[in-house]
Amino acid sequence: MTIANSPNEIISPDPQTPEALIEYYKSVRAFTERMCEPMVNEDYVIQSMPDVSPTKWHLAHTTWFFETFVLGNNYPNYEPLNKQYNYLFNSYYNAVGEQFCRPRRGQISRPTVAEVYDYRHYVDEKMIDLIGRLGRDGGLESLRDTIILGANHEQQHQELMTTDIKHVLSMNPLRPTLYDRPEDPEPVGVPRLEWLRYEEGLYDIGWDATRFSFDNEGPEHKEYLNAFEMGSRLVTNGEFLEFMNDGGYQRPDVWLSLGWAEVQAGNLKEYDWEKFDHPLYWFKENDEWWQYTLAGPRPVHPDEPVLHVSFFEADAYARWAGARLATEAEWEVASADADIEGGTYSDSFRFHPRPLPLDSPKGRLHQMFGDVWEWTNSAYSPYPGFTVAEGAIGEYNGKFMANQIVLRGGSAATPQNHIRPTYRNFFYAQNKWQFMGFRLARDAK
């Protein structure tokens, strides 16, 4: 996607001066810490499943990223605060050395939370010093991209911190509130679903701008698309409940074979919480559906977009509804029409999608950016001509291009200046703990 053609330029910050770069660095780092303010010490430690990392680990790992890829080779005589942190806080960069095993991240009480904050501030001080110095003395240019990558990396982990702490706290029968949220308005309904048409043709897909993007968003290349139609808004809880009430989770005919296997395996889980017959975090009380949120439990609101569903559930719903999911190219082409309808992003610590207002304008796409990551029907594969960078940074995205599905658009937990139309998020088809939802698409007649 040639970003200059887009009516809605959603772009990453592009700090040109050393001062701007320092400001940008500080703002991203500070936001991470602001997110943690409501947490108690004990919240930082827990890993509720292998996919989840403790908050403490996220705080340290994002710091490790700057230490390893920026300070290590560039700060004169850099001395790490603790030499074992390289082993403890490396996630998956084999080129940088062995890693402490992922499913045991929650078994490490030390370093303490306070020590991890010391680590952050130790690295911050050195980073700011280094940027300032290189800005004066020359040499910043070659590091700039890595620093901006590090900031974007930290923004990814800001979202993961949210999704992970939500999973952690959801395990607790006390159902704690982490971030307050005003009471939800009464259900009033959402606008009727419209089908917006896009014509057959050859489109440019992927990122070609000079500003930051992740490597997996390029190279820009051509894709030929048949004419298709996109649903004007996200599928809601109310609609998903219709699917459930119609026996959607009991009808193998609407499921992919692996999805049906998940449903059946879910029925054999020891803990009800893990059953695969409703969106994650939903539970029934007095015959009414509730959902756990970071603001505590709330009744399932019919007007909100459905949240925490897997690809399998999105795909099954679409088949049940006589539609399908969009491919990621279709989504990207359609997104050129879409406005950013602000207010749903993470800055407010709301961390929960909003209903589409009943009086939203007709004839256009809504809720494309923010609210929920939208499952596409596209496997996560390299774009034509994609190559990975040399060295450890090359492990950033490329090595995950198997068995994952692309999601697009960003969620209520994504920092606003971290969303792009070409952004390719990716998770396994059975994953539900990210802020995931979907919209419908179909072939044009």
Tell me which residues in 20-59 interact with its own copies (CB under 8 A).
40-46, 48, 56
Subset of residues 354 to 383 that bind its own copies, contact rule: CB under 8 A: 377-379, 381-382
C-alpha angle 420-214-368 in degrees, rounded to nearest 5: 20
Token pair 């980073």: residue: 127
Least distance from its own copies to the Cβ atom of residue 306, Å: 20
- The residues, ordered by sequence, that sit 6+ positions from 339 with a Cβ below 8 Å of its Cβ are 8, 364
In the beta sheet, which residues pair with residue 428?
404
The tokens of 57 are what?
A: 């680990």
Q: Which residue number, 186 or 270, has a Cβ lying nearer to its own copies?
A: 270
Subset of residues 111 to 170 that bind its own copies, contact rule: CB under 8 A: 111-113, 168-169
Token pair 């590090």: residue: 150
Q: Which residue number, 21 or 169, has a Cβ lying nearer to its own copies?
A: 169
One-character DSSP codes across 167-180:
HHHHT-TT---SS-
Subset of residues 55 to 114 that bind its own copies, contact rule: CB under 8 A: 56, 84, 87-88, 92, 94-95, 100-101, 104, 106-113
Least distance from its own copies to the Cβ atom of residue 95, Å: 6
Least distance from its own copies to the Cβ atom of residue 345, Å: 26
Dist CA 61 CA 54 (whole Å): 11
Dist CA 362 CA 194 (whole Å): 8
Q: Is residue 171 part of the contact set for its own copies (CB under 8 A)? A: yes
Least distance from its own copies to the Cβ atom of residue 148, Å: 24
- Going by DSSP bridges, is the β-strand pair 373-379/436-437 parallel, antiparallel, or unpaired? parallel
Q: Which position among 223, 239, 328, 374 is part of the footprint of its own copies (CB under 8 A)? A: 223
Q: Is residue 206 part of the contact set for its own copies (CB under 8 A)? A: no
- Is 186 in contact with 176 (CB distance < 8 Å)? no
Least distance from its own copies to the Cβ atom of residue 47, Å: 8
Q: Is residue 299 part of the contact set for its own copies (CB under 8 A)? A: no
Residue type, 438: F
Least distance from its own copies to the Cβ atom of residue 86, Å: 11
The tokens of 115 are what?
A: 């020590």
Q: Which residue number, 20 or 227, has a Cβ lying nearer to its own copies?
A: 227
Q: Which position among 257, 287, 363, 445 is part of the footprint of its own copies (CB under 8 A)? A: 257
Q: Which residue number, 157 or 167, has a Cβ lying nearer to its own copies?
A: 167
Dist CA 290 CA 301 (whole Å): 9
Q: Is residue 431 part of the contact set for its own copies (CB under 8 A)? A: no
Q: Is residue 326 part of the contact set for its own copies (CB under 8 A)? A: no
Q: Which of 433, 211, 401 is nearest to 310 (CA)?
A: 433
Listed in sequence order, the DSSP H helices in 101-212 are 113-137, 141-170
Pick the piece of the chain touching its own copies (CB under 8 A) from 24-32, 61-69, 353-361, 396-404. Answer: 396-404
Q: Which residue number, 42 or 285, has a Cβ lying nearer to its own copies?
A: 42
Q: Is residue 335 part of the contact set for its own copies (CB under 8 A)? A: no
Dist CA 190 CA 94 (whole Å): 48
Least distance from its own copies to the Cβ atom of residue 320, Å: 14
Q: Which residue number, 284 or 364, has a Cβ lying nearer to its own copies?
A: 284
- Is 58 in contact with 35 (CB distance < 8 Å)? no
Q: Is residue 232 part of the contact set for its own copies (CB under 8 A)? A: no
The tokens of 20 are what?
A: 């701007």
Dist CA 176 CA 203 (whole Å): 47
Least distance from its own copies to the Cβ atom of residue 249, Å: 14
Q: Is residue 222 part of the contact set for its own copies (CB under 8 A)? A: yes
DSSP 68: I
Least distance from its own copies to the Cβ atom of residue 45, Å: 5
Subset of residues 401 to 420 that bind its own copies, contact rule: CB under 8 A: 401-403
Q: Which position among 3, 10, 143, 429 is part of the footprint of its own copies (CB under 8 A)? A: 429
Dist CA 237 CA 263 (whole Å): 19
Quick count: other Cβ atoms within 10 Å of Cβ 307? 27
